[in-house]
Amino acid sequence: MRKKRLAALLAALLLALALPACSAAEEPPAIRIGVAVYLQEDTFISTITQHLQQMAMEEEQARGVKINLSIADSRGNQSVQNEQVDRFLDRGCDVICVNIVDRTAAAVLVDKAQAAGVPIIFFNREPVEEDLNRWERAYYVGSKADRAGKLQGELVLNAWRFSQEELDRNGDGVLQYVMLEGEPGHQDALMRTEYSVRTLVSAGVPVEKLANNNADWQRGQAKMRMQQWLDQLEKPIEVIFANNDDMALGAIDALVEEGIPPEEMPFIVGVDATPPALAAMAEGSLKGTVQNDAKGQAERMLELCCKLAFGEELPPEKITDGHYVWLWYTAVTKENLTALLGELS
Ligand code: BGC
Ligand code: CA
């Protein structure tokens, strides 16, 4: 009898000892990722964060891990963003992703991350090279800024070569254009502006800039700029270059309000290939765009986050100069539009 009770007691004791170990073993490994974005309502940025959320869920399933993803909106304010990064570090994030508000202000963030020993990944808004070089665990995921400009230029160049009489409305042999620019100082605004026109000029197309202005990537601001130009400019606008699709759509809004049908609109090109831009292409108001790979950027970022957080080896062939993960832009024309629309639906 006593022997039996002793055995039961021993069994209960063993079970009690085994339990916590057992439940701890069942907990999946968890990582924390903090993401701070310059402005959540930016169309392109919100597409990236949506992809990130979706892919983090898929990755949890695939790896059998828990991924805690926190997204903070810095609302265009660098000091707000610095505090958000502090908070992420205090809360024990394993990796921090930053869509920096002011791309010249990365040094402070790299130093904070280094002091905490937490890798930092910048994306879409490229920090200056010296800042990224401050620490070997600072990275940038993005697309080559000049390439989108070149592709935009090529879209217009092809149209000029194949249907100059349609494009050159006043028949003076010169291409009159306006330029809607993103935020001043943003690498994409600077490079897209420069390389779109440079591509035409190097191909020998005579160009004349009628007007240019910043519209901070925003549809509403671009509409206002366009309304002013329609009121003020004497020569007809033959091409509208917009550094992104939202601004191209803003220009189209202004033209629609003037009662101009799509077939009479200038040749308008954007960048990003957002769903409303592709719809505008299908309708004929937008003539071309350049796909900015939001999905690819989110994919690369998450891959990098997981590898860094789980201490896995980084594939050297995917990282240029120890810091950069580059993605490609692709031109969108009538030919590949249907395929892209299919991918989105
Ligand atoms: C995109 C814009 C976006 C900007 C934000 C650019 O690469 O083309 O649509 O507003 O990034 O930083
Ligand atoms: Ca002309």
Ligand 1 contacts (CB < 6 A) are: 42, 44-45, 124-125, 188, 217, 244, 271-272, 292
- Tell me the residue ranges of DSSP E strands in 5-65: 30-37
Residues of the chain with CATH 3.40.50.2300: 30-124+293-312, 146-291
Q: How far is CA 109 from CA 11, 123, 289, in A?
A: 54, 13, 34
pLDDT at 268: 98
Classify domain 30-124+293-312 by CATH architecture: 3-Layer(aba) Sandwich (3.40)
Q: Which two tokens stand for residue 340?
A: 């892209």
Nearest residue (by CA) to ligand 1, atom 3, is 44
DSSP structural state of residue 172: S
344 pLDDT higher than 80: no
- The amino acid that residue 196 corresponds to is S
Mean pLDDT of 21-45: 86
Mean pLDDT of 270-282: 96
Mean pLDDT of 161-184: 97
Mutate to test the pocket of ligand 1, among 102, 123, 272, 297 (most ligand atoms within 8 A of CB): 272
18 pLDDT higher than 50: no
CATH code at 146-291 = 3.40.50.2300
22 pLDDT higher than 50: no
